[in-house]
A = this chain, B = another copy of it.
Amino acid sequence: MRTFDSVSNIRAFVRASVQDGKSIALVPTMGALHEGHMSLMRRARADCDLVIASIFVNPSQFGANEDFDRYPRDLARDSKLAQQAGVDALFTPSVKVIYPEGDRTTVQVGKIAERWEGELRPGHFEGVATVCAKLFQIVNPDRVYFGLKDYQQLKVIEQMSADLFFAHTIVPVATVREPDGLAMSSRNVYLSEEERQSATAVSRALALASQQFDEGERNAPKLQEVINCTLQADPAVTIQYTSIADADTLEPLETVKTKAVALIAVKVGTTRLIDNAVLGGPPSRRGENDRSKG
């Protein structure tokens, strides 16, 4: 596995493969890799000829009071894991490489970025959209892999990619969970043993709502109430938001007619956790110009 930290080197590496007719996958990450990332990488490996994973802890998507400084970083460990998952090249740029002139040009994705995470984390999705636009331009992939765990992020990037006519296909990949249901997240390491127990309320709440949906419940407030009751049963869990929202626009619903998503954001102690469950169908895909294998 190769590692590149300059734009010109990763570009030259990708270009040589494109000239050989190879399809290019990009898995953008902030490092601190876990089974969720590995699953994205394995899926990319199965789909495409060349798999690039980026590791970049993007300062512009962290709020002033968030965990940019203490976000876990371990490149040696991440490199091993990426190699095991079949990654061909890591792109590990510095902040100076991605923002040589500081924050200057930004990408704003509009309404879908304003709700939920966007409301609680002002500037977050602007940072995410901007860094993704940069990474997409640098790598010019055929397919880009995002986890469904960060559902709103996936939808923001899908919209941005469509609106700016990026030619890649976005591939959403199912959330990987611990045996007890907790969604894998690099931030789970922040949880104490007791908090780790309380955190299971989130996936239990989603499982209950999914079950009621499967049994025919289509009333959104009732589905939300199931979620809220489950979360509120544990005093260590503080709800930030819950919603039964349209799966594409993320607007809150009264009745689930086609496809919806149950969204949860909580705090357990000082750690924020988000999770979701899609109700009523697999997530949509988009894209064209696909040079990928499958």
Chain A: residues with CB nearer than 8 A to chain B?
7-8, 11, 100-101, 103-111, 129, 133-134, 137-138, 159-160, 162-167, 288-289
Contacts and interface: CB of A to CB of B under 8 A. Distances in A.
9 contacts: A100-B162, A104-B110, A104-B159, A104-B163, A105-B107, A105-B109, A105-B159, A105-B160, A137-B164
A121 to B, nearest CB: 19
B288 A105 contact: no
B166 A137 contact: yes
A195 B163 CA distance: 41
B164 A133 contact: yes
Given A137-B167, A167-B137, A101 B288 contact: no
Contact of A111 (B104, B164, B166): B104
A146 B274 CA distance: 46
> Secondary structure at chain A's binding surface: helix, strand, loop or mixed?
mixed
A107 B160 CA distance: 10
Tally of this chain's copies: 2
B165 A138 contact: yes
Contacts of A110: 103-106
Contacts of A129: 105
B134 A165 contact: yes
Given A106-B110, A110-B106, A163 B101 contact: yes
A122 B111 CA distance: 20
Residue with the highest number of chain B CB atoms closer than 10 Å, among A134, A162, A164 = A164
A124 to B, nearest CB: 16
A176 to B, nearest CB: 29
Contacts of A160: 105
Nearest to A289: B11
Nearest to A103: B110
Given A137-B165, A137-B167, 12 more contacts: A7-B165, A101-B159, A103-B110, A104-B109, A104-B111, A104-B159, A105-B109, A105-B164, A106-B110, A107-B107, A134-B164, A137-B164
Contacts of A103: 110
Residue with the highest number of chain B CB atoms closer than 10 Å, among A111, A133, A138, A165 = A165
Contacts of A111: 104
A134 B161 CA distance: 10
A105 B104 contact: no
Contact of A288 (B8, B104, B165): B8
Contacts of A7: 165
A7 B166 CA distance: 11
Nearest to A165: B137
Contacts of A165: 7, 134, 137-138
